[in-house]
Amino acid sequence: MCGIFGYISHPSLKLRNGKQTGDAAKIIFDGLKRLEYRGYDSWGIAVKDQGKITLEKHVGRIGQAKVNLPKSSLGIGHTRWATHGGVTVANAHPHLDCTGQIAVVHNGIVENFQDLKNELTRKGHKFISETDTEVIPHLIEEFLKKEGFASAVRDTFNRLKGLNAIVVTSAVSPEIIAAKNGSPLVAGIGKEEFFIASDATGIVKHTKKVVFIEDNQMVVLGKSLKLVTLPKGQEIKPVFHDIDWKFEETKKGKFKHYFLKEIYEQPKVLENVVLNQRQNLRKLAGLIDKARGTFLLGCGTASYAALAGTYLFSKLAKKHINYSVGSEFSYLQDFVTPKTLVIPISQSGETIDIVQPVQEVQKKGATIAAITNVLGSTLYRQADYKFLLDAGPEKSVAGTKSFTSMISVLLLTAYILAGAEEDGKRLLLAAAKNLRSMFQVKNINKIKRLARKISRSEHMYLIGRGLSYPAAIEATLKIKEISYIHAEGFAGAELKHGVIALIEKGTPCIIFAPNDETYEEIISNAEELKARGGFIIGIGSKNNNVFNVWLETKDIKEATIIPQVVYAQLLAYYLALERGVEDPDKPRNLAKSVTVK
């Protein structure tokens, strides 16, 4: 999860508009701000200064903080999402060895850290943190007693078990060294300067020329870029990529939070799919049509989009598509053959619970058609066929427009497969129009009043049937993520199989009631909830006497799932404000990109 950023230049050289280099701390600090969505428990920066490592670490978010470090041409930084050890200054990265001359930042989990720590403790090493990361600089320190810096980093990384990325610097070396297995790293090449980051978002402001570090590779950044394979350290020729991104410092504009801004961007996302994605989605439809067995994979929000896809392909294209949560797919791979098509869906393209199972099924010869929002991500590079969501940057940790883009891509693909592409196009444009009408002041005020009424509720239940079932569980996730209310989503009939026992007088219950084959049965479920005291919030194209509050959507067939979920996004946001959530863009304990097991 965590954000990593490193920078190195030669202070005697003039760069960028003739300005002198040598302010690594400032460049790293700026980079960490752009990477903070990866973790915001704590942060720190280490720079090389007059033959020693100078370190600054803080608990909490970077926000408007200032860094007080000397000018330097070399440094590394980190913004943390805690795994091992609590959120303290001692546990924040970078971590040092006993001599204070080696600094390490790390993303991942060292699965054998306790064994390594015991071994190092016996040799006299002193530890000051609770983290697994701290064993890394001490192990490098130990190897340095008998070999050079690069070899010591290589041999240390070879001893780490698990999926890890490390970036290391030393007070006595003019280099930054990084290695990875699983967790992402990308090196950027500037004019007489180099960058290293956990993803390209951090460095695209400075350069478009990058090298994506692959698993079991180590990169040495100094006067040049040297790439070697692990475990033996054989030098290989790096492959340079020019990433065609325009760097834009995304602004909130008139919006208080990115979460709300990105909700309001969704009509344009839908229109973009219609205008620009149709040719690519015809290719995806062709792959599905020819495959002998297709799997849709996702985690979190992407998993609910994938689940919705199974309903869309069944109903529209009469195609059976298998669905799996990414982390569970390893237990379902017995059915995978060289004729299988696997469609992993991920906003970041770095989610380890997607990336790892894809690696495994590639060994079986399966075809990978990846749907992701990030060009050059690990998933994008893994895939045989690459389909970009093109939803634009999503700064809020909780996904909104990425979900809408995923649903629209799957819906239009299903319509193409059914030979009804124009129908799919019309529905998505109608959904975009529906969203714009939902954003009118009168409707937003209604959602605010509803949020005020139910904001002190401890529990909330959401139900749907058919395609509205994945809508219900995605809506549930948004309410939990943003407002911290305990919410649960169910297929309508499942309430009777136990959960209805939890309904009390005034319990908020959201009913997804589109004008389709599920309508009468879901209304019956709503009646059952109301009879037990539930406060019924209906979302659909028709009002009903059972609803205490009605939120209207247009009847746009399968595309109705989009306004259904957007209502939940808006409700989650205003619930968060009513409940005094500090920053809905950065919910507690969460990070945007989940790169650890």
Question: What amino acid positions are annotated as catalytic residues?
Answer: 2, 592
Question: What is the β-pairing status of strands 42-49 and 74-80?
Answer: antiparallel
Q: Which amino acid is at 262?
A: E
Q: Where are the strands (E) in 289-434, listed by range?
A: 294-298, 322-325, 341-346, 367-372, 385-388
- 115-to-93, 105, 119, 306 alpha-carbon distances in Å: 21, 20, 6, 40
What is the Cα–Cα distance from 208 to 5, expressed in whole angstroms? 16
| Distance between CA atoms of residues 14 and 20, nearest Å | 5
Q: Alpha helix (H) ranges present in 265-346?
A: 266-276, 278-290, 301-317
CB 369 within 8 A of CB 384: yes
CA 17, 241, 7, 353 torsion-angle sign: positive
The CA angle 342-345-351, to the nearest 5 degrees, is 110
The tokens describing 101, both together, are 């001359």
Q: Is 227 helix (H, G, I), strand (E, B) or coil?
A: strand
Residue 105 falls in which region: left (phi positive, over 0), alpha (psi -120 to 50) or beta: beta
Query: CA-CA distance, 465 to 502, in Å (whole number)?
Result: 20
What single DSSP character describes residue 488? E
Is the backbone peptide bond immediately before 393 cis, with ω within 30 degrees of 0?
Answer: no
Task: Give 181's Cβ-side CA count (13 Å radius).
Answer: 16
Rounded to an integer, what distance in angstroms lies between the CA atom of residue 47 and that of residue 31? 14
What are 572's two structure tokens?
A: 């989650």
CA dihedral 523, 528, 534, 535 (to 10 degrees): 20
Quick one: how far is CA 425 from the chain centroid? 28
Three-state secondary structure call for residue 585 = coil
